[in-house]
Structure 1
């Protein structure tokens, strides 16, 4: 089984504090995020943007794999995932949805591409993750 990780360190209160996120590959290294970057469109990183990046990149790869497996080699697959966070949900902010906008250039009929696109939406690993069980291990220092 392949395992990947990212880490986050948060210090301070929700509104005045700040955090840093890093990825195993080091593509993200102490990338800052704050309340403002998440809830007020401040400049910087935020969790929903990272989920959207994971979703769009995973989806594009999976759609390409499905099409290629059927002998249709796409020239381009451009995917945009928009993750919707409702900050007013009772009990705390909640990610309510993810929407994919996809553009495909490939030597195939539109109906065939549409069928592969729907299969990729349901089958891409990050789409599945968004419906997954979450487990927790806690260490109190």
Structure 2
């Protein structure tokens, strides 16, 4: 069985001056602008790398929540920030790294157990599996 989610992009005109928009099947993004300036010059709109960062944050955080619950932990809160690194690669670019920065509050867990679960989840998250890049994890654990 496959779960299929969709997105689309439109690029009107070509190159740096092109006007583009991106949409998702849900109303989360509907004709949201993106383009060269938002990707490389800090202009208005979104860009593929920040969308990947948000997707990786959402996937990893949800997967970790379920992994912790599966290990018997009942109470906690998780917040993950993700940085995606876009580096020059010959004549083009490549995503070389995704850095997960997690703050976790989990009642009753010890550092060693949390470290194991978090690192296993880092590798098991479906979005992590999608990347051909280094995936780093740093975290702050607050035990309640």
Structures share fold, TM-score greater than 0.5: yes
Q: Residue 91 of structure 1 corresponds to which residue in structure 2? A: 91
Q: What is the DSSP-based 3-state SS (H/G/I as helix, E as strand, rest coil) of the residue aligned with 1:15?
A: helix
Q: Which runs of 4+ in 1 moved over 6 A?
A: none
Q: What is the DSSP-based 3-state SS (H/G/I as helix, E as strand, rest coil) of the residue aligned with 2:15?
A: coil
Q: Which runs of 5+ in 2 are unaligned?
A: 133-144
User: Shift of the alpha carbon at 1:74?
Assistant: 4.2
Q: Which runs of 5+ in 1 are unaligned?
A: 132-141
Q: What is the DSSP-based 3-state SS (H/G/I as helix, E as strand, rest coil) of the residue aligned with 1:93?
A: strand
Q: Which whole-Å CA distance do the structure 2 matches of 1:43 and 1:96 have between them?
A: 24
Q: Residue 61 of structure 1 corresponds to which residue in structure 2? A: 62
Higher strand share: 2
RMSD: 1.3
TM-score by length of 1: 0.88
Q: Deviations over 1:10-41 (max 9, x none)?
A: 11122111211000112100000011100011
Q: Which whole-Å CA distance do the structure 2 matches of 1:19 and 1:75 have between them?
A: 40
Q: Residue 103 of structure 1 corresponds to which residue in structure 2? A: 103
